[in-house]
Chain A
Amino acid sequence: MEAKQYIGEGWKHAILIIGAIVVMLPFYMMVSMSLKSQQEIQSISGGLIGAQETQTFPVCVKTGYSEETCTMKPYQYNYWFAFEKAPIPRYLMNGVIVTLSIFIIQVLVALPCAYALAKLRFYGREFVFSMVLFCLLIPVHGIALPLYVMLAQAGLVDTYSALILPWTISVFGIFLMRQFFMTVPDELIDAARMDGMGEYAIVWKVMLPTAIPALLAFAIFSVVAHWNDYFWPRMVITGNRDLFTPPLGIREFRGGIDSDEFGPMMASIVTVTVPLIVAFIIAQKRFIEGITLTGMK
């Protein structure tokens, strides 16, 4: 390789590293603040992790804990106090309940429909498919207001149903699965029918297993979108903390309950953001596939 090429390669890395630093800035800030003490945060000192000196935290004492309980290292304190202040496990559990329910119902609705559209011949099939194509154009966040009015009239605001119902239909899921099922050979289905399987059994025992790769991509897409969604929960959950999803929990933390202390707040934010990021780093390829393949939404 020529010297010129080395220089070219070096320039590219220089540009990309600057870009990477800018991209990582808020992540650095978030992790660093969740580890440091309030004084270190306010004086912007201590680098990434701070000095980690054992100390007694005044806000903690004021809240009513004994001085002994409140004496520890900053990183321990920040995470411990974040969990003391807010029911973070509850928020995380709500996040899991909501995202999983949405995904399961989406599959239960979309899979049979996609199978019918791809492999069954019936009157009106083209019409149903064009309806799916039309619905693909409608962004659910865009029609949030009329949906909210409907839920309010039904008395469902501030319930799990409000968080889940609007997302039960994924036209994108139907479209994706239908395209996938078109590639499944008819012989497979005919053989299953010869064996005496009914149409229901075919959907769940023959089609579902063949669709696992597409389903996995769709699962990642769906879970990431709804775990991170803030707009919709913010609309329909007004005050009931028991129903808060992780983003709502973060917002409450910032909303002033202990705005005099940033460490525990950032610790709660890190706690909520970490599960997805770790999953992403472990199964990176699948994530990128899932999110871009289905990025059409």
Chain B
Amino acid sequence: MHNSKAHIWFIAPAIILMIIILIFPLFLAGGISFTDYNLGNKTFEWVGLENYDKMFNRKTYVKMIWATATYVIVVVPISVVLGLCAAMLLNSLRFGADIYKTIFFLPVMATLLAMAIAWEFTLHPTLGIVNSFLANGCGGVREFILGFHWMPWVDSQESWYAVACANNMDFPYWLKQKNTAIWTVCFIGIWQAFGFNMVLYLAGLTSIPRELYQAAEMDGAKSTWEQFKLVTWPMLGPTTLFVVTITTIRTFQVFDTIEILTKGGPSKTTYVMMYAIFEKAIQQNLTSIGAAITVVFIGFILVLTFFQRYVIEKRVHY
């Protein structure tokens, strides 16, 4: 034990910054959300729940909730499953795993904004390689595979691919069409996120003791699938929980791709929450409604993390 007062100087800067930068803004957002305050106004009035009322009743905000939910519900499971599959494949390879690992991790590292623009050109109807690849494949193997002609119930004259080929190569304008934009943005989200999950799963896989697989085999779990069900999946429980939580929180915060590629359109199908906050509060200077969205947003995140920490965490640890 010592009597110096050094600790005060050590913790004071951190405490002051935590209060000013992290805790006070929570209350500020909450406060503003009950007013009609706009940045630059001298005065404001308390309006009660009016901003929240708008949020849950106006079409725009209902679409916002939909777009955000769609994005999260699509991107999280697919990027987690892809990450797991990639990790298991790499783990079972005899050679070359490191190269794939580097490639799959590149999107995590690269500036997302730059990559969004690169995707925009890749998916462009006249300049992009994706649509020219599709157009060159009309009547060939590509049409058969990607048009799902191998599925018994798909009519090879009526598939989306055949129709596009017949209509003078009318392939989708992926990012500008109402029925494809949100899925294209989801695809870019998955492309960016799965490498990160893969690396976390690779770490999780190396920590599973070999003996468990031998024991499972003795108990009669011979096939890869049975061993996966019996050993790998349960042992990866904590990793999965961690991966799902992180991916969800990151996915909720999607902004870069939306702002640069769709601006929330077409007809608000990609109008996610972070973009809504930016558009309402910064571009249209509707600070109070932006604050209300912020409060709901933070609410989602806090509920999710609490759920992870105190409810599920108890069940996945052995």
Measuring CB to CB, which residues of chain A are less than 8 angstroms from any residue of chain B? 9, 12-13, 15-16, 19-20, 22-30, 33, 41-42, 44, 108-110, 112-113, 115-117, 120-122, 128, 131-132, 135, 137-150, 152, 165-166, 168-169, 171, 174, 193, 198-200, 203, 224, 227-228, 230-231, 234-235, 246-247, 250-251, 254, 262, 266, 269, 272-273, 276-277, 280-281, 284, 287-288, 291-292, 295-296
A203/B10 in contact, CB under 8 A = yes
B291/A145 in contact, CB under 8 A = yes
In Å, the complex CA distance between A149 and B4 comes to 39
Q: B106 — which chain A residues lie within 8 A by C-beta?
A: 23-24, 27, 277, 280
B10/A113 in contact, CB under 8 A = yes
Q: 7 shortest A-B CB distances, which residue pairs?
A: A199-B6, A146-B25, A26-B118, A112-B10, A169-B17, A113-B14, A116-B10
Q: B107 to chain A: closest CB distance in Å?
A: 6
Q: Mark B85-119, 1 if CB is under 8 A from A, else 0.
A: 01001101110100011111111111111110111
Q: A15-B89, A292-B199, A295-B196 are in contact. List 9 more A-B contacts (CB 8 A).
A: A9-B94, A16-B96, A112-B11, A142-B301, A203-B10, A231-B253, A269-B114, A281-B102, A284-B105
B25/A150 in contact, CB under 8 A = yes
- 16 CB contacts below 8 A, A to B, read A12-B93, A13-B93, A15-B89, A19-B100, A44-B128, A141-B255, A142-B301, A143-B25, A147-B25, A149-B28, A168-B21, A200-B6, A227-B111, A266-B118, A276-B109, A296-B246
Asked whether any CB of chain A lies closer than 8 Å to the CB of B73, the reply is no
Asked whether any CB of chain A lies closer than 8 Å to the CB of B39, the reply is yes
In Å, the complex CA distance between A229 and B28 comes to 24
B14/A110 in contact, CB under 8 A = yes
Q: B5 to chain A: closest CB distance in Å?
A: 9
Q: B200 — which chain A residues lie within 8 A by C-beta?
A: 292, 295
Q: A174 — which chain B residues lie within 8 A by C-beta?
A: 14
Q: A239 to chain B: closest CB distance in Å?
A: 13
B39/A20 in contact, CB under 8 A = no
In Å, the complex CA distance between A146 and B295 comes to 10
Q: Known contacts A26-B118, A109-B14, A141-B253: does B291 contact A42 (CB below 8 Å)? A: no
Q: Give the residue among B21, B103, B104, B122 with the most A Cβ atoms within 10 A.
A: B21
On chain B, the number of residues with a Cβ less than 8 Å from chain A's Cβ atoms is 85
In Å, the complex CA distance between A276 and B119 comes to 19
A230/B113 in contact, CB under 8 A = yes
Q: A200 — which chain B residues lie within 8 A by C-beta?
A: 6
In Å, the complex CA distance between A260 and B21 comes to 43
B22/A16 in contact, CB under 8 A = no
Residue of A nearest to B99 (CB): A20
Q: Known contacts A22-B191, A288-B105: does B302 contact A169 (CB below 8 Å)? A: no
Q: Which candidate, B58-66, B157-165, B206-214, B276-284, is the interface stretch facing chain A?
A: B276-284
Q: Give the residue among B25, B105, B246, B259 with the most A Cβ atoms within 10 A.
A: B25
A9/B18 in contact, CB under 8 A = no
B32/A146 in contact, CB under 8 A = yes
Residue of B nearest to A152 (CB): B39
Contact of B11 among A128, A199, A228, A230 (CB under 8 A): A128
Q: B190 to chain A: closest CB distance in Å?
A: 10
In Å, the complex CA distance between A284 and B26 comes to 37
Contact of A143 among B11, B26, B90, B129 (CB under 8 A): B26
Residue of A nearest to B12 (CB): A113
Q: B270 to chain A: closest CB distance in Å?
A: 16
A145/B287 in contact, CB under 8 A = yes
Q: A147 — which chain B residues lie within 8 A by C-beta?
A: 21, 25
